[in-house]
């Protein structure tokens, strides 16, 4: 049984709205297991972040430097907790600091590391992000770019997550262009893929995906694409932060095609499901709350729904905060959590995105993470938070 958080004597002064400093007293962390206690009844992937190399002689706005040992070590942590790894996705700052050559090296290293874990789940993002962002790419160029990345990943033995394409969103003139691209690509893949529909709240360049600004009309196109190519689709991950749209789509998927929730606001109830079905998971927030996610999924596998919700309920306010608008900056909160919990030695990000959130935002993240029992070493977390506050002139 997991212990309920109690209060420690440890405290810290945190900034709040209006520029005030308020004393905050930390709680005892939850006693989450460090390893999975059994099989899950849901397929669960964590989209994993990357750890930057802060000592590399690279201007973070001009290049990408990765601490490979720390990055792969965290993936080992996720596999040990029973979670799959969704590699080189937006949580890894794909297309937002992480370029395609570095992504492919990340995928290669992850595939190699996964072989140490029997039954490890690993799927990797294939997209079109090596096309120049300011180039007027054609639909044929989009197809060629997808083919190039898929071939490279499959040559390594990897499985594919078919990422939404900014270039396709620019080049497509109608929904028929989406049908053409997806039919061509799905007709070639070696194994069934996960299709990723990433909403514009995560990436404004993907507005109007599937040929429609209206999500309901876009969903009709996506469902038709999936129905026409169902044998090549393992599942679809939608990241629209709208549980009603996810449930509506889930109920219309062809038999055997999974819904992978990407809803970092409502994941607990979507994973639990209802009488008509449930969602599996492919979530960025699982990177930040991995021990809680593993414990909750273990409870659900034992049909202990009370414990499942008891564990996840306090993580939802944290997740909604991390993924608050502008949602595309959620990676800052994810990496901050990794640093506070000792999985990396610094709070430096690819592209310098540690500066994408305010100190008020990060102070509230600290409070919410503590309230969810997720600061596994409160003394370390407190010391690191104080160092971050000092950089912002707060002592």
Residue range 222-253, pLDDT digits in tens:
999 999 999 999 999 999 999 999 999 999 99
What is the structure's pLDDT at 2? 54
Domain positions in the chain are: 35-328
Closest to 271 measured CA to CA, from 49, 292, 149, 288: 292
Percent with pLDDT over 90 in the chain:
93
State both tokens at 94: 């794909």
What is the structure's pLDDT at 7? 60
The conformational region for residue 193 under phi > 0 = left, psi -120 to 50 = alpha, else beta, is beta
Q: How far is CA 371 from the centre of its chain?
A: 22
Query: What topology does CATH give the domain 35-328?
Result: TIM Barrel (3.20.20)
Question: Among positive and negative, which fits the CA dihedral 295, 296, 297, 300?
Answer: positive
Identify the DSSP state of 185. H
What is the structure's pLDDT at 123? 98
**Rounded to two decimals, what is the model's pTM?**
0.95
Question: What gap in Å lies between CA 388 and CA 199, rounded to an integer?
Answer: 32
Report pLDDT digits (tens) over 75-130.
999 999 999 999 999 999 999 999 999 999 999 999 999 999 999 999 999 999 99
395 pLDDT tier (thresholds 50, 70, 90):
confident
Question: What gap in Å lies between CA 264 and CA 260, rounded to an integer?
Answer: 12
Q: How far is CA 302 from the centre of its chain?
A: 26
Q: What is the dihedral of CA 234, 84, 208, 175, to 10 degrees?
A: -20
Does residue 19 register a pLDDT over 90?
A: no
What is the structure's pLDDT at 1? 40
């Amino acid at each position: 049984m997991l212990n309920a958080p109690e209060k420690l004597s440890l405290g810290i002064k945190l900034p709040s709205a209006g520029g005030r400093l308020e004393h905050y007293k930390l709680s005892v962390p939850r006693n989450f297991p460090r390893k999975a206690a059994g099989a899950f009844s849901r397929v669960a992937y964590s989209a994993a972040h990357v750890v930057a190399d802060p000592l590399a002689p690279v201007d973070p706005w001009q290049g990408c430097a990765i601490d490979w040992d720390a990055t792969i070590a965290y993936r080992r942590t996720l596999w040990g907790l029973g979670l799959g790894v969704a590699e080189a996705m937006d949580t890894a700052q794909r297309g937002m600091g992480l370029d395609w050559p570095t992504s492919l090296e990340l995928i290669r290293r992850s595939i190699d590391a996964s072989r140490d874990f029997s039954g490890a789940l690993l799927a990797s993002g294939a997209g079109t992000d090596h096309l120049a962002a300011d180039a007027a790419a054609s639909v044929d160029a989009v197809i060629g770019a997808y083919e190039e990345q898929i071939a490279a990943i499959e040559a390594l033995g990897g499985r594919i997550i078919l990422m939404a394409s900014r270039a396709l969103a620019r080049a497509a003139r109608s929904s028929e262009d989406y049908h053409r691209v997806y039919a061509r690509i799905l007709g070639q893949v070696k194994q069934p893929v996960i299709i990723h529909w990433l909403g514009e709240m995560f990436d404004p360049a993907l507005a109007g995906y599937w040929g429609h600004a209206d999500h309901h009309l876009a969903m009709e196109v996506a469902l038709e694409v999936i129905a026409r190519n169902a044998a090549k689709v393992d599942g679809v991950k939608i990241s629209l932060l709208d549980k009603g749209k996810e449930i509506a789509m889930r109920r219309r998927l062809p038999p055997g095609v999974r819904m992978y929730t990407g809803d970092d606001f409502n994941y607990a109830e979507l994973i639990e499901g209802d009488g008509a079905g449930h969602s599996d998971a492919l979530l960025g927030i699982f990177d930040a709350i991995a021990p809680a996610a593993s414990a909750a999924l273990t409870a659900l596998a034992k049909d202990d729904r009370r414990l499942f919700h008891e564990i996840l309920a306090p993580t939802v306010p944290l997740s909604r905060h991390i993924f608050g608008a502008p949602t595309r900056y959620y990676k800052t909160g994810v990496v901050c959590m990794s640093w506070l919990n000792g999985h990396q030695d610094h709070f430096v990000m690819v592209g310098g995105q540690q500066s994408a959130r305010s100190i008020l935002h990060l102070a509230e993240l600290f409070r919410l993470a503590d309230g969810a029992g997720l600061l596994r070493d409160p003394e370390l977390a407190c010391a690191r938070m104080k160092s971050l506050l000092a950089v912002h002139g707060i002592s």
